Amino acid sequence: AQSVTQLDSHVSVSEGTPVLLRCNYSSSYSPSLFWYVQHPNKGLQLLLKYTSAATLVKGINGFEAEFKKSETSFHLTKPSAHMSDAAEYFCVVNTNAGKSTFGDGTTLTVKP
Amino acid sequence: EAQVTQNPRYLITVTGKKLTVTCSQNMNHEYMSWYRQDPGLGLRQIYYSMNVEVTDKGDVPEGYKVSRKEKRNFPLILESPSPNQTSLYFCASSFYLPRTASGANVLTFGAGSRLTVL
């Protein structure tokens, strides 16, 4: 069985300040982990992925995430938020068996 | 252009009237999957398919059927829709590769189909 917990349903930051979106997972197997972003009324777009290579993963638009096996975490960070980062973010865990489990999502608000 | 195409994008129907949401991809992906998105619940997997004629249940399969007769198509069938199936539906596809491969299981999503059942 696998599960994903996004620890914050809403995060609000000021433009130019750091972003931290937290994700914890559980999986019976060594998982692949992903972050996807969904802008309002849009589909989902891949931000970054972890597939057992480097534990610090860099994605698009300045986002990165660090896989910490001991903490079963895959938190998403960005040094400086931009207004265009306002969106909903989903942490996802996949197994080789084809099951994919999404977290409930974190809505990021960026204040001017 | 590489894409996943869903139709219809919007549909309002009535309880019990069978409907099909089509999904087609042009990337020769082995893996295809359906999700529903509801406020506060993220995306929940309905069914997925590892390849032609291979399908399996996700977390919320009740009330839905799928088929995978061709590699490019993966329709979602609601035999007798009910109001609790009102939702935003996404189809997605990917190559099926060992997880150590750099492109493993990166999903390409369709634009979504908003379904309302009255």
pLDDT at res. B103: 47
In angstroms, the separation between the Cα of residue B80 and the nearest Cα of chain A is: 26
B71-112 residue pLDDT tens: 999 999 999 999 999 999 999 998 876 554 444 578 899 999
Tokens matching residue A70: 């001991």
Q: Does the structure show a pLDDT above 80 at A108?
A: yes
**Closest listed residue to residue A11, CA positions, set A24, A2, A20:** A20
B34-72 residue pLDDT tens: 999 998 888 999 999 988 999 999 999 999 999 999 999
In angstroms, the separation between the Cα of residue B83 and the nearest Cα of chain A is: 22
Closest-approach residue (CA) in chain B for A96: B99
CB atoms within 10 A of CB B74: 29
Interface of A with B (CB under 8 A): 6, 9, 30-32, 34, 36, 42-46, 49, 51-53, 90, 94, 96, 98-105
CA distances from residue B113 to A35, A52, B17, B51, B97 in whole angstroms, order as listed: 22, 33, 17, 23, 28
Name the H helices within chain A. Answer: none
**Closest listed residue to residue B75, CA positions, set B116, B109, B47, B38:** B47
- Cβ contact A44–B109 (<8 Å): yes
Instruction: Collect all residues of chain A within an 8 Å Cβ-Cβ radius of residue B92.
Output: 44
A54-68 residue pLDDT tens: 789 999 999 999 999
How many Å apart are CA B71 and CA B67, to the nearest integer?
A: 10
Residue to substitute from A3, A37, A44, interface B, most B β-carbons within 10 A: A44
pLDDT at res. A100: 82
Instruction: Collect all residues of chain A within an 8 Å Cβ-Cβ radius of residue B106.
Output: 34, 46, 49
pLDDT at res. B102: 46
pLDDT, averaged across chain B? 91
CA-based end-to-end distance of chain B: 36
Instruction: Collect all residues of chain B within an 8 Å Cβ-Cβ radius of residue A42.
Output: 111
Task: Provide the Cα torsion B32, B37, B40, B46; round to 10°.
Answer: -50
Name the H helices within chain B. Answer: none
